[in-house]
Structure 1
Amino acid sequence: MKLYALLNIFLCFSGTLCAQVINDAATIEFGSKNLSLDQPLLISVVLRDAETRPAVIFPEIKDLEKRSKSATSSISTVDGKKVVIQTITQEYYAVKPGNYLIPEFTMIINGVKLRSEETMAVFSQGAIAAETNAEPAGNSILEQDLGDNDRDIFLSVQTDKKDVYIRQGFALRISLYIAENAPVEMEFYRFNEQLQSILKKLRPVNCWEENVGIEEIVKRRVTIRKRKYTEYNMYQARLFPITSEDIVFPSITLNMLVTDNNGAVNVDRKVVRAFMSRPTKISVRQLPDHPLRDQVAVGQYSLKENLSSKLVYPGESIRYMFKVEGVGNIAAIPDPVTQASSSFDIYPPEKSQVIKRSYQGVIGEKTFDYFVVPRKDGTFALARYFQWIYFDSTKQKYDTLRSSRTLEVKGEDYRLANLSLSGSAGLYDNLESLDSSNESINYKQILKDATNAIVVILLITMIWVFRK
């Protein structure tokens, strides 16, 4: 009887623990699995309530080639609580059409094991075939690194621009290129130590860095001057200069372990050989004269907006969403300029943002959600009250995002009609009857506390059974 009771307690205890452990804090997600050759298979790790982005190494998949990686962070506020979602995505490309089996695999993220079931991806020819030997971005820089005579092996520090405005982003990439027919065998030597030393020397102090995140060396095939190379990409990031000083990337050295076959017969000797990059320079330009020159964002942006109601009465609150989206340093986007007025009460906005970082650029959106309370009757163009000034790096001039919405505020007659139809009240109606001490119910926390209480009770019961 005691054994039977103990077994039941153990099963209940195990089930309760499992209920606590199983959650959706981290998941593996796939993009579309029906693709053309010019499209990548996307595999993502999604982390919820993760303030920092962990190191993520995706699996090798037979006959598929790893290429670019991107990292997206989403920060928003829900019921007064900050919610952060991190998404790390790896691209896989196929060389030829066909059905590709993605075997079952596991990944360990922040000490948690994630498992993905076996699945199938189908790549078709499509309208545009993928060019696996395509010229890499910044190919002219690679040709300079290559020199007058084609070299079998060379180290390159690449940037996609040589001239930028202050706060305008540019790409930085460190890669080793080895010709496919190079008569040499080599391997990386103390790579992590070397990479940290290289980055310490290379990272400019006057730049904001948006690191894509590379936890492994990524290979891809490229063609330079009609010769095939394998690129070993070691680091990539987007940098945004925050001062007008020019940026100089000095020459760096990477040591590789090379097999020397020139010694005794049938004896391979490994020696350390150094490869050096060429120094490169980025010219940084100051923005043209403007009262807000030192504050505005730089990039290409557009506006999306939403007004909860176009027709209200004085004292009725409305929500106005001002969303800036585009290409640039999204995290550093300043708040819109709001014009003080006797016609409105405009409260500080709730902010949320989504940022996707990749070698190609930093894109995303930043949302400003305002509560607005009109004070008097009238028709008001919101462009007078909300605007956002930035410098367009493509057009090389300042531009302003202005609201296109119009708000109509009507008086007592409209208010009475509105109340009779909807029964709704204004922001200040029945204020004396509201109890600000009431808190919202957190059902998730209640469930967690109840589960913990059950665990404690089961432990006490188990101890009592043993003592009997």
Structure 2
Amino acid sequence: MFAMAVPVRFVCFLLLLWLGAAGAPRAQTVPPAAPAQPAPAPPAPTSAAEADIVLGRPQLSINEYYTISFRLRGAALEKYSAFPDLEGFKKSGKSSTTTTRIVNGKTSVELTITQRYAAYGEGDYVLKPFTMTINGLTVRSGGGAVRVVSQPAAAAPAPGPVQGLGLLDQLFGKPKPQEYVELQDQAFLALVPDKMSVFVGEGVHIGLYFYLTPADQGLLNFYDLTRQLPAILRQLRQRTVWEESFNEQEIEPETVTAGGKQYLRYRLYEAMLYPLNAQPLTFPAVPLQMIKYRVAKKPAEGLDNRLAGYKTYLSQPRTIEVKPLPPHPLRDQVPVGEFRLLETIDRTAFRTGEAFRYGFVVEGEGNLAALSAPTVATGPTLEVYGPEVEQNLTRQAGRVGGSKQFSYRLVARQPGPLPLDTLFALVVFNPATARYDTLHSGLHPRIGGAAQRLATFDSLPADPFYKEVLNTADNTLRPLNEYRQVRLYANIILAVLLAVAIFSRWRSR
């Protein structure tokens, strides 16, 4: 008997050592210790804290919960980040467990917070990698795969004690499930045009907005917009328009008033559309799926007290009438918009034979991309070169506007007044007045007497050599074969020099 007692005691001693090692903190999750100081300060409460994430079973039935838990050891729980949202699952409450171990007089406490997830249906799901922050510690999970199978057939109850009744249930009673209620929200999705009737070529601003009251912020949240928005925009695209989309931006709330009530408005899409023909613009009703939470009937401290679900919002269909332009000989070529004319000219004194720059600048709101250069009436007394086109477009506060400049170089051949208003003209249609208008120049430069030289180009002010040469160049006509004769004389001279060199070398030998 004594001989057998010794191994038993030895085994018990090894078992205690193993339990102590299992309860000891893991080295890989302990934050790096601070360097030693001359006067060491007492350790912070969280210096020995460690945490890890535990995933639930990879396969479960449809009537079971999938779980994600984190375990915290060595410190009291102060704060932690939210559990991740799993595609195909909805969050269904949390639970917490505290485990206290005493080994060789050492006490260790482990806190486990578990988030339960209920599957919407059977199938295979992918749990993407995620991170959580617990008491300032960043813990990462590599994710995994979850398979949800059908509920097994109910088996006949076996005789014996009631299954699933643990010690805590015997002491405190089985916890009752929380009851959730769905609160009524006042949110809605709307496609908002700034006009319900436009002319062909006239811009109409449209915006897709989601409205909700400040009280609904805790009930609603956006769900998978990166997947939903492209499908929504494909339904809103129009094939018979020129579209100027506003720059992509983050979806942020702005406070607006609608129907005498204050709302938070989220801009999902915004563009300016210019119809190319008289076909009406038809926008169907588009759906947007949102996460909507049900609230616990009796909130419990320490729990989320919300149950996530889904709700789909539909916008109202819209139709915008497109009217043809009034009759006009150039109706198919006339730009539509509220435009005005600005002019630029690079000098104040003019002489025949000298080139000068003239800028015809159209500024205002409209489809500047479809705006063509003005018609130019030229004649033998004027040379016109160009134009060079420069366009500046601004999208701001639901408006699209800017300027388009056509730059020309003009050379007058005859002295006297130069009526630019009869040379440059652009017919436009103003949708605000529903009338045609003509933008024409208001400048009348006077051309002086004949110049001493013909210069249809500008010198290069940045290069002093070309500036001097071009301003003093002789414009006397020369024969076409002049340079050919110069090449002949140069070749003869080179041949003579080569012969002299050969003769000198022969004499030196």
Length-normalised TM-score, structure 2:
0.51
1:436 is matched with which residue? none
- Assess, with a 3 A threshold, how the Cα gap between structure 1 residues 280 and 240 changes in structure 2: closer, same or farther: same
Aligned length: 277
1:351 is matched with which residue? 389
Write the letter of the residue equivalent to 2:193: T
SS in 1 for 2:347: coil
The separation in 1 between residues aligned to 2:393 and 2:476, in whole angstroms, is 42
Write the letter of the residue equivalent to 2:428: Y
2:424 is matched with which residue? 386
Cα deviation for residue 331 of structure 1 reads 2.2
- Assess, with a 3 A threshold, how the Cα gap between structure 1 residues 389 and 304 changes in structure 2: closer, same or farther: same
1:223 is matched with which residue? 257
SS in 2 for 1:369: strand
2:232 is matched with which residue? 198
Task: Give the root-mean-square deviation of aligned CA atoms.
Answer: 2.7
Answering whether residue 296 of structure 2 is matched by residue 258 of structure 1, we say: no
SS in 2 for 1:347: strand
Using CA pairs under 8 Å that are at least 6 residues apart, name the structure with larger relative contact order, 1 or 2: 1
The separation in 2 between residues aligned to 1:183 and 1:318, in whole angstroms, is 63
1:341 is matched with which residue? 379
SS in 1 for 2:316: coil
- Assess, with a 3 A threshold, how the Cα gap between structure 1 residues 394 and 312 changes in structure 2: closer, same or farther: same
User: Is this contact kept in 1: 2:185–2:216, CA < 8 A?
Assistant: no
Cα deviation for residue 276 of structure 1 reads 0.3
2:205 is matched with which residue? 171
Write the letter of the residue equivalent to 1:179: T
User: Is this contact kept in 2: 1:316–1:427, CA < 8 A?
Assistant: no
Answering whether residue 307 of structure 2 is matched by residue 273 of structure 1, we say: no
| Percentage of matched positions with identical amino acids | 30
1:189 is matched with which residue? 223
2:248 is matched with which residue? 214
Is there any run of 5+ residues in structure 2 with no aligned partner, and where?
1-183, 454-466, 478-509
Q: 1:232 aligns with which of 266, 273, 278?
A: 266
Answering whether residue 341 of structure 2 is matched by residue 307 of structure 1, we say: no
The separation in 2 between residues aligned to 1:237 and 1:273, in whole angstroms, is 27
The separation in 1 between residues aligned to 2:375 and 2:438, in whole angstroms, is 10
The separation in 2 between residues aligned to 1:218 and 1:333, in whole angstroms, is 34
Cα deviation for residue 290 of structure 1 reads 1.0
Answering whether residue 434 of structure 2 is matched by residue 396 of structure 1, we say: yes
The separation in 1 between residues aligned to 2:253 and 2:370, in whole angstroms, is 33
SS in 2 for 1:376: coil
User: Is this contact kept in 2: 1:156–1:175, CA < 8 A?
Assistant: yes
CA displacement, residues 86-105 of structure 1 (integer Å, 9 cap, x when unaligned): xxxxxxxxxxxxxxxxxxxx
User: Is this contact kept in 2: 1:319–1:371, CA < 8 A?
Assistant: yes
SS in 1 for 2:309: strand
Cα deviation for residue 265 of structure 1 reads 7.3
2:325 is matched with which residue? 287
SS in 1 for 2:418: strand
Write the letter of the residue equivalent to 1:181: A
SS in 2 for 1:406: coil
The separation in 2 between residues aligned to 1:245 and 1:318, in whole angstroms, is 45
The separation in 2 between residues aligned to 1:427 and 1:387, in whole angstroms, is 34
Write the letter of the residue equivalent to 1:160: D
User: Is this contact kept in 2: 1:317–1:426, CA < 8 A?
Assistant: no
Larger radius of gyration: 2
Cα deviation for residue 163 of structure 1 reads 0.6
The separation in 2 between residues aligned to 1:334 and 1:345, in whole angstroms, is 20
Write out aligned runs for 1:314-463 (5 A): 314-412=352-450, 430=474
Write out aligned runs for 1:143-162 (5 A): 152-162=186-196
The separation in 2 between residues aligned to 1:309 and 1:182, in whole angstroms, is 64
The separation in 2 between residues aligned to 1:428 and 1:241, in whole angstroms, is 55
SS in 2 for 1:349: strand
Write the letter of the residue equivalent to 2:261: R
- Assess, with a 3 A threshold, how the Cα gap between structure 1 residues 259 and 347 changes in structure 2: closer, same or farther: same
- Assess, with a 3 A threshold, how the Cα gap between structure 1 residues 427 and 316 changes in structure 2: closer, same or farther: farther
The separation in 2 between residues aligned to 1:432 and 1:244, in whole angstroms, is 60
CA displacement, residues 325-382 of structure 1 (integer Å, 9 cap, x when unaligned): 1111122211011112111110121111111012431111111110001112221210
The separation in 1 between residues aligned to 2:221 and 2:336, in whole angstroms, is 42
Is there any run of 5+ residues in structure 1 with no aligned partner, and where?
1-149, 417-422, 434-468
Length-normalised TM-score, structure 1:
0.55
Write the letter of the residue equivalent to 1:155: L
The separation in 2 between residues aligned to 1:427 and 1:400, in whole angstroms, is 40
The separation in 2 between residues aligned to 1:429 and 1:321, in whole angstroms, is 28
The separation in 2 between residues aligned to 1:426 and 1:405, in whole angstroms, is 29
Cα deviation for residue 407 of structure 1 reads 2.3
The separation in 1 between residues aligned to 2:329 and 2:185, in whole angstroms, is 51
- Assess, with a 3 A threshold, how the Cα gap between structure 1 residues 332 and 424 changes in structure 2: closer, same or farther: farther
The separation in 1 between residues aligned to 2:251 and 2:342, in whole angstroms, is 39
The separation in 2 between residues aligned to 1:199 and 1:258, in whole angstroms, is 23
The separation in 1 between residues aligned to 2:425 and 2:382, in whole angstroms, is 16
